[in-house]
């Protein structure tokens, strides 16, 4: 058997389908499609030096890596490499080959510190540690059964609060961007980000093929966007909440819970049957909200870090 590591070719359907299939098998709690993969690659910011890789064995994609520079951080030299291998094709050198190619690419682009998300399983963690990575923070994947579970009842917004969909901002998404930017800046992370590029946000968030403005809910207080729950869908029956947050001036009023409940109810009414989300393990308030909705932890990831040179 011959195993090779090479670049993903977004114009080749077999490549993006193989990449998406491996990612789904290795990480079934994460929404990804062949079309979203091709979009991510063809619309990546040039400063990200984004380079998805595949490991191929006898014509079959058996491993994947998403590789790039964290270009929207004020701290230079930070890169990321997230490797996933087909669960039935491990121990064939695919993972190690992908890591080597990724590190060479990132080092050539000036990276000095690399971050990698690794599933919290003994074999996965041992693999990361053998390659010189050390454990850092962790995060949970959570799942909610929309078809068979019971959602909290819908509540009328309090006086002065109005619930709108993301689609209501189609003519001018900038107020939604400003809310997203503020809340993302406060997310627990070991990387600092600067979310100031509106055009990049339009490209990577608003116009992304998985983003669902119809199922995204925004809570307005006296006409001002104050909280939101952003939704993605994969074209089937799966729904993902990619961000839920509240502007600093409006926190502590239950607005994020109000927005997310509205989004979940509309997702279920639209025929979606599974809801997924993710939370940093230190994000107690959001974990409590998701537990209130009925989400259950289905997997945990650990962020690993390696210094280069």
Whether residue 132 is contained in a domain is answered as no
pLDDT value at 17 more than 90 = yes
Domain boundary among 69, 90, 111: 111
Q: Is residue 131 part of a domain?
A: no
CA distance 26 to 34: 15
The answer on 172 and 236 residing in a single domain is yes
Per-residue model confidence (pLDDT) at position 154: 94
Is the pLDDT reported for residue 10 higher than 90? yes
Distance, first Cα to last Cα, the chain: 34
Q: At what angle do helices 13-26 and 34-42 cross, to 10 degrees?
A: 110
**pLDDT for the residue numbered 195:** 80
Q: Global pTM?
A: 0.93
Q: Is residue 119 part of a domain?
A: no
Backbone angles phi, psi at 109, to 5 degrees: -95, 10
Tens of pLDDT, residue by residue over 176-197, are: 999 999 998 887 777 777 788 9
Same domain membership, residue 153 and residue 244: yes
The answer to whether residue 193 sits within a structural domain is: yes
Pairing of strands 78-85, 60-69: antiparallel
Please tell me whether residues 179 and 79 are part of one structural domain: no
Domain identity same for 148 and 252: yes
Domain presence at residue 307: no
Token readout for 150 is 């019971």
Instruction: Looking at the structure, tell me whether residues 195 and 256 fall in a common domain.
Output: yes
* pLDDT more than 70, % of the chain: 100
**Residue 274 contacts residue 239 (beta carbons within 8 Å):** yes
The answer on pLDDT for 114 being more than 80 is: yes
55 and 157, same domain (yes or no): no
What does the pLDDT read at residue 149? 84
Q: What is the domain range of residue 258?
A: 144-300
Same-domain status, 201 and 283: yes
> Do 176 and 281 share a domain, yes or no?
yes
Of the chain, the percentage scoring pLDDT greater than 90 comes to 90
> How would residue 271 be classed by pLDDT, with cut points 50, 70 and 90?
very high
Same domain for 165 and 295: yes
Domain count along the chain: 2
pLDDT in tens, 220-263: 999 999 999 999 998 889 999 999 999 999 999 999 999 999 99
Whichever domain contains 250, its CATH number is 3.40.630.30
> Which range (47-56, 76-85, 154-163, 178-187) has the least confidence?
178-187
Q: Are 304 and 118 in contact (CB under 8 A)?
A: yes
The pLDDT, as a whole number, for residue 1 is 67
* pLDDT value at 201 more than 90: yes
Considering the domain boundaries, does residue 244 fall inside one? Answer: yes
- Note whether 292 and 148 are same-domain residues: yes
Q: Which of 111, 133, 168 is the last residue of a domain?
A: 111
Are 59 and 148 part of one and the same domain?
no
pLDDT tens digits along 22-72: 999 999 999 999 999 999 999 999 999 999 999 999 999 999 999 999 998
Which residue, 86, 111, 136, sits at the end of a domain? 111
Mean pLDDT of 279-301: 94
Q: Is residue 129 part of a domain?
A: no
Report pLDDT for 30.
92
What pLDDT is stored for residue 126 in this prediction?
Answer: 97
| 63: region left, alpha or beta (phi > 0 left; psi from -120 to 50 alpha) | beta
Flag whether 133 is in a domain.
no
Residues 194 and 84 reside in one and the same domain: no
The predicted pLDDT at position 184 comes to 86
């Amino acid at each position: 058997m011959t195993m090779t590591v090479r670049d993903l070719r977004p114009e080749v359907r077999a490549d993006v389908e193989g990449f998406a299939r491996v990612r789904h098998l290795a990480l079934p709690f994460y929404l990804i499609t062949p079309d979203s993969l091709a979009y991510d690659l063809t619309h990546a910011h040039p400063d990200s030096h984004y380079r998805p890789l595949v490991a191929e064995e006898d014509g079959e994609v058996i491993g994947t890596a998403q590789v790039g520079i964290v270009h929207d951080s004020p701290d230079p030299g930070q890169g990321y490499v997230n490797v996933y291998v087909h669960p039935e094709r491990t121990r064939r050198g695919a993972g190690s080959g992908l890591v080597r190619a990724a590190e060479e690419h990132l080092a050539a682009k000036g990276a000095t510190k690399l971050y990698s998300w690794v599933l919290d399983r003994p074999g996965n963690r041992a693999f990361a540690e053998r390659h010189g990575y050390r454990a850092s923070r962790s995060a949970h994947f959570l799942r909610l059964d929309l078809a068979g579970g019971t959602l909290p009842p819908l509540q009328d917004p309090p006086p002065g609060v109005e619930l709108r969909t993301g689609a209501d901002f189609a003519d001018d998404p900038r107020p939604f961007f400003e809310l997203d930017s503020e809340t993302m800046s406060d997310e627990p992370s070991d990387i600092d980000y600067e979310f100031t590029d509106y055009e990049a946000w339009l490209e990577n968030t608003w116009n992304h093929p998985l983003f669902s403005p119809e199922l995204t809910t925004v809570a307005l207080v006296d006409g001002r966007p104050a909280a939101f729950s952003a939704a993605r869908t994969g074209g089937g029956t799966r729904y993902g909440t990619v961000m839920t947050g509240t502007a600093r001036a409006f926190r502590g009023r239950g607005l994020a819970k109000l927005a997310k409940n509205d989004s979940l109810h509309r997702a279920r009414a639209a025929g979606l049957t599974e809801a997924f989300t993710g939370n940093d393990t230190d994000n107690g308030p959001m974990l409590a909200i998701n537990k209130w909705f009925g989400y259950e932890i289905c997997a945990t990831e650990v962020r690993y870090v390696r210094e280069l040179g």
